[in-house]
Amino acid sequence: MSFVALIPARLASSRLPEKPLADIGGKPMIVRVAERALQSGASAVHVATDDARIHAVVREHGFNALMTRADHASGTERLAEAADLLGLGDEAAVVNVQGDEPLIDPGLIDAVAHMLQRDNTLPMTTACHAIASAEDMFNPNVVKVVLDHAGRALYFSRAPIPYARDAFNQTRAALPTDLPVFRHIGIYGYRAGFLRQYRNLAPCALEQFEALEQLRVLWHGHAIGVAVMDHAPEAGVDTPADLERVRQRWNALHAQ
């Protein structure tokens, strides 16, 4: 089964103005993201935006761009509109690729799509990687996910889960051997039909307290498949310092 990579992009950014148009190795960031998405094996890559400048620059570099409404509350809502504009059937697989991750691993995109292909009962997928340090385990900015036997999410939390009661009563300086603790990676795959359904799901208290929107899906009784990756992803761009770090990383990777 093929899949479509959709990249939601807005020009407004409080911490880094005009972020999608920032230069990375001679091309706008949003174009670099589209290039990585194309390398994932996606049958099509589309940037979904509400800004004419982003639309124009994406088209100038040979990629597909869709103009979407400006009043969406989230990137997920923008993707749902994009799926409608593209006329995607309900069973079509869609991967949401963030527009501020110009160094994203194409294999990560493919892994999230592959879970949808492997299990046709899943409406949504995401990814994670193993946590190796106690510091990350107890850091509320590191989102944890607990999996069931089939690789589906049981819960996402900023709290240290699963909590090793006896081991942590003795010390929190190190993780016990074989504790199955995973850090959530913020990439999502959807069936187009579920994207359309998702925008109508009411928020729940869990997501509001944890500040984790994906908990809405679990609260409403829908499954999320989780692909386990063997390493952490490259970090995205939120601030000017992030942009400089990514530029240096890009230059180092393409120095040859």
Q: Of all residues in the chain, what percent carry a pLDDT higher than 90? A: 89
Q: List pLDDT tens digits, range 36-90.
A: 999 999 999 999 999 999 999 999 999 999 999 988 888 888 899 999 999 999 9
How high is the pLDDT of residue 256? Answer: 59
The predicted model scores a pTM of 0.94
- pLDDT tens digits along 83-122: 999 999 999 999 999 999 999 999 999 999 999 999 999 9
Q: Which of 105, 179, 106, 107 is nearest to 138 (CA)?
A: 179
Class of domain 3-245: alpha beta
- Over residues 200-253, the pLDDT tens digits come to 899 999 999 999 999 999 999 999 999 999 999 998 999 999 999 999 999 998
